[in-house]
Amino acid sequence: MNKIVATISQIHNIDNLNIVEFDFENMKLKMMSLDLSNDIKVGQKVILTVKPTNVAMAKNLQGDLSYSNQIPTDVEKIEEGKLLTVVNTKTKNTKLQSIFTSSSLKRMNIKQNDKVTLLFKASDLSILEVIND
């Protein structure tokens, strides 16, 4: 499971729907949620999580996408299997994984040290833990 330490920067809500914005390494991340705990406040530090199977990867990304969360990163290690591949990346001090088909790895010609962009929807991001300093 990917873990991202971030700070809540904004909370937008209408009825039970919440869009929570986070600051992560000077990047903006967004989460969609139906219910928020009372611990969730602007300025609060949290650990976010997204499943590696929900993280898409782009190489040479151009244009606009509907993905709210786009993290530029570097490929550190590739664990290629017959059907699935685990790609381990690092952005600043955070390690993140993406799991996708091995045929996509070959088609995209992803190699160690490549610069790629990780993509995931706001509905795939969740708060794992509130950090009480």
Q: What is the pLDDT of residue 12?
A: 96
CA-closest candidate to residue 126, choices 11, 14, 33: 33
This prediction's pTM? 0.93
Q: Give pLDDT tens digits for 60-107.
A: 999 899 999 999 999 999 999 999 999 999 999 999 999 999 999 999
Question: What domains does the chain contain, in order, with CATH numbers?
Answer: 2-131 (2.40.50.100)
Contact call for residues 43 and 133 (beta carbons, < 8 A): no
Q: Does residue 38 have a pLDDT over 90? A: no
Q: What is the DSSP string of the chain?
A: -EEEEEEEEEEEEETTEEEEEEEETTEEEEEEES---TT--TT-EEEEEE-GGG-EEESS--S--S-SEEEEEEEEEEEE-SSEEEEEEEETTEEEEEEEEHHHHHHHT--TT-EEEEEE-GGG-EEEEEE--
Q: Does residue 133 have a pLDDT over 80? A: no
Average pLDDT score over residue span 32-49: 92
